[in-house]
A and B are shown apart, each in its own frame.
Chain A
Amino acid sequence: MFFRSVLFLFVLNLPYLLFAQTVAVVSTTQIYDITKNIAGDDVKVLSILAPGQDPHTYSPVPADIEKVKSADIVIENGLHLEGKNWMKNLAADAKKPLVTASDGIVPLILEAHGEKINDPHAWFTPQNAAVYVNNITRALIRIDPEKKENFVMRAKLYLAQLRALDGWIKKEVSVIPPDRRVLVTNHDAFNYFAKEYGFVNTAPTGWSTGSEVGGGVTPERREKAVRSIKEMRVRTIFFETTINPKLIREIAADAGVRVGGSLYSDSMGDEGTPGETYIGMMRENVLKIVRGLK
């Protein structure tokens, strides 16, 4: 009887044993898309955040714990993008190896209340996204070395696409006169983009939409944003897809400027929207920025 039960269980699990797929669980939608581009169908990639969810303020739910338990590897953005380190904690609780996709990037330093904070929004330049690609490719090779050739070939194609994206952004933003390259958004997410492509940027909400030091909206920051808009004669300001546009609409009314639509920032778009991929979200943002500011 015992033998028969064991045999039955074995047969029941046979498909799993034969076709068990390596699983990578990632924190954000950007990392999900980058990882999918390298993994193809060789690795099952699961994301904790769905499109539209905010990584700064997210609190894991029981389903996330189950997802991480099934993982062979856990990939986070790092630099404290995941508020209160929720992805690090999930990986540690499940005793799963953790890879930080932004490892190796020299972070931009933000000053807030006398504290220095590493800006976590590193994916906003294709050059930094290429660092993510390298870290993720190495991680996937480590957990599934037999698929190395596939990962490497896909990574090379994706890196070529990121290179093309960078050249395209440079060319498109070149039509905005340098003194009009002022980017006003909800929260301080566009520093890397601004530095790479010659913009000045300001936001009424700090580096995080959450309650961390230097995060959240304050009356001083709101006032500073309105002042900057007037001083720099900004014509268009933007809200972000993950954040309620109310604040930006109020500021636009106060400063007498127009709203240039929503930019993808901490999350990509829903499936079927032009911002559902990393390259798509960067493309759509640049289109709106160029149309709004040129």
Chain B
Amino acid sequence: MRFLLTLAVWAVTAAVVLTFFVFRNNSSGSVEDVKNILPERDISIEITTTFSTEKDPFALNISDDKQKAFTVSLDGKAVYEADTGIEKGEPLILKAVKLSDGQHEVMVTSAPVSGAGDNAVRIRAVMDGVVLNDNTDWFTDGQEIVSVIRFDTGKTDGK
């Protein structure tokens, strides 16, 4: 009986030690990956418009596909949507810290009220105080606004 108990304790101890070594080896191998996926960087997207938004009469409103008057998407996924609250000349600042190294794309779509003149959207991508891209697009009155910028979080030198 005592022999069996000793054997069991020994087996459990061995398993724990083995698991520790396996885990340590694996994690030491992926330190680089973890750094790439979650950079400790301060990335923000700043959007400034020449118009304020309100509810869009030309939006598509089918049950599960409700278009908002102002949307920001990052790499194809909506990260900000609103009908109101975007004010002319006041920058909207989105903090987007969890980005992998490499190319990213920000798209802003909006629908300003027509008849008030031409409109513009400025999008800036900033990482650790360095501007990665800064672009302003102009749109004629009544035109739907679709502005896209791309930036590379892996290439900070020289910028």
Residues of A within 8 A of B (CB): 126-127, 130, 133-134, 137-138, 141, 152, 155-156, 159-160, 162-168, 170-171
Contact = CB atoms under 8 A, between A and B. Distances in A.
B94 to A, nearest CB: 24
Contacts of B111: 163
B138 to A, nearest CB: 14
A166 B142 contact: yes
30 contacts: A127-B57, A130-B59, A134-B60, A134-B62, A137-B60, A138-B63, A152-B60, A152-B62, A152-B65, A155-B60, A156-B60, A159-B58, A159-B59, A159-B60, A160-B58, A163-B142, A163-B143, A163-B144, A164-B142, A164-B144, A165-B142, A166-B58, A167-B114, A167-B115, A167-B141, A170-B115, A170-B141, A170-B142, A171-B115, A171-B141
Contacts of A137: 60, 62
Contacts of B67: 156
Interface residues of B, number: 17
Given A170-B114, A170-B115, A171-B115, A127 B142 contact: no
A103 B114 CA distance: 24
Interface of B is mostly: loop
A159 B144 CA distance: 10
A130 B115 CA distance: 17
Nearest to B111: A163
Contacts of B62: 134, 137-138, 141, 152
Nearest to A133: B60
A156 B65 CA distance: 11
Contacts of B144: 160, 163-164
A96 B22 CA distance: 68
Contact of A164 (B59, B63, B143): B143
A126 B144 CA distance: 14
A269 B37 CA distance: 59
Residue from B58, B61, B111, B114 having most chain A Cβ neighbours under 10 A: B58
B134 to A, nearest CB: 27
A160 B141 CA distance: 12
Contact of A167 (B60, B65, B143): B143
A107 B103 CA distance: 50
Contacts of B142: 163-168, 170-171
Contacts of A130: 57-59
Nearest to B115: A170
Nearest to A130: B58
Given A152-B65, A171-B142, A163 B60 contact: no
Interface in B60-109: 60-63, 65, 67
A164 B143 CA distance: 5
